[in-house]
Amino acid sequence: MPKIIDGSRLVVKCCKLYYEENYTQNEIAKLLEISRPTVSRLLKEGKESGVVRIEIVNPLQDNFESLERRVEQLYGLKEVIIVEDEADVSLQTKNAAKAAASYLMRIVKPGNTIGVSMGTMVKAVAKYIDIQGNLNLTFVPLVGGVGQSQREIHPNEIITELAKSFGGNFKLLHAPAVVSNENIKKEILKEQSIKEVLDHTKLCNVGLVGIGSPTDPASTIMGSGYFNLNDTSNLQKAGAIGDVCLRFYDIHGHTEQFDFNKRVVGIELEDLKKIDIMIGVACGENKVMAIIGALNSKLINVLVTNYSNALKIAAFKEEN
């Protein structure tokens, strides 16, 4: 005679053992004399029938999860991390940098190569790295240096600090970020020491970048000394809305119309897009359109920003 099983009773018993008494599925199978796939099926049935109700209680004061998920789905991102709005710009930067540092420490794997851009926000992230042990990471600049007046936010300075915090290695790129024409760039790229570092950027598993805004006079790039009036005028005429690693794009994420991009010494756009995890960090209302363009360009797939920005970014996508 076939074995008769009280289905409802078994579902409840299985769920109690798993959720209340912390038995593993293998242990339950052995205890109840059933197969592991049967245990899995009973647990699934428990959730679907309402025997098990899972409630997630958020211990944090913020409640950004739904908005984070909304932006992730709208733009096809790996992850979005939202921080509180702050009237104090320095506090806003600090909070975003801490969140980005926490994410970076969570996702890096032993042996990873991490590419880093320039900027005040990226520099701030480096300050909040606090990790034990040596993961054998390698840090490389994704773009050449900025003006000497901004040495502290030079990629070489930032990767040195990151390597020290993580206990990793680094490659220095001794080259300008921008040159006056493509021919000079071609000559620079012939230098073996520079070529070796740029070749290493193609090995990056993770990238950490700021998002620049050419309309913001206080931005890193606009104060770097690499831009003359003609550059600024041409960028505006072509619809530049933002940059990642000094590669400009318009609101739709298009980059091909900007001749300026061809003069940048750093990782090439096609290689930038191949990096598995690209973390973009930017806060403040003046960065909203630059962030939207960066997301549309697919140059980043992880975003750290503030609440108001996230709302506007989501609304823009839903309305356009």
**Residues 68-119: pLDDT tens digits?**
999 999 999 999 999 999 999 999 999 999 999 999 999 999 999 999 999 8
Q: How many helices (H) and strands (E) does the chain have?
A: 13, 9
Output the six-digit token pair for 56: 């997630």
Task: Report the SS3 class of residue 159.
Answer: helix
pLDDT score, position 134: 83
Output the six-digit token pair for 182: 């493509």
Determine the Cα–Cα distance for residues 118 and 57; give it in Å rounded to an integer: 38
Is the same domain home to 44 and 110? Answer: no
CA 284 and chain centroid, separation: 17
Q: Closest Cα to residue 171, out of 243, 89, 115, 221?
A: 115
Number of domains in the chain: 2
Q: Is residue 299 domain-resident?
A: yes
Is the same domain home to 39 and 177? Answer: no
pLDDT score, position 234: 85
Is the same domain home to 182 and 224? Answer: yes
Q: Is residue 2 domain-resident?
A: no
Determine the Cα–Cα distance for residues 122 and 108; give it in Å rounded to an integer: 16
User: Quick check: 148 and 229 in contact, CB under 8 A?
Assistant: no
Task: Report the SS3 class of residue 281.
Answer: strand
Q: Is residue 263 domain-resident?
A: yes
Q: What domain range is 43 assigned to?
A: 7-49
Q: Is residue 205 domain-resident?
A: yes
Is the same domain home to 247 and 193? Answer: yes
- Which one-letter amino acid corresponds to residue 215? T
Is the same domain home to 37 and 126? Answer: no
Output the six-digit token pair for 296: 């549309």
| Cross-strand pairs, 141 | 116
Is the same domain home to 158 and 37? Answer: no
Is the same domain home to 182 and 108? Answer: yes
Is the same domain home to 11 and 76? Answer: no
**Residues 119-160: pLDDT tens digits?**
899 999 999 998 877 899 999 999 998 655 567 788 999 999
**Residues 197-249: pLDDT tens digits?**
999 999 999 999 999 988 676 666 666 666 666 777 888 889 999 999 999 99
CATH number at residue 76: 3.40.50.1360
**Residues 150-193: pLDDT tens digits?**
677 889 999 999 999 998 999 999 999 999 899 999 999 999 99
CATH number at residue 33: 1.10.10.60
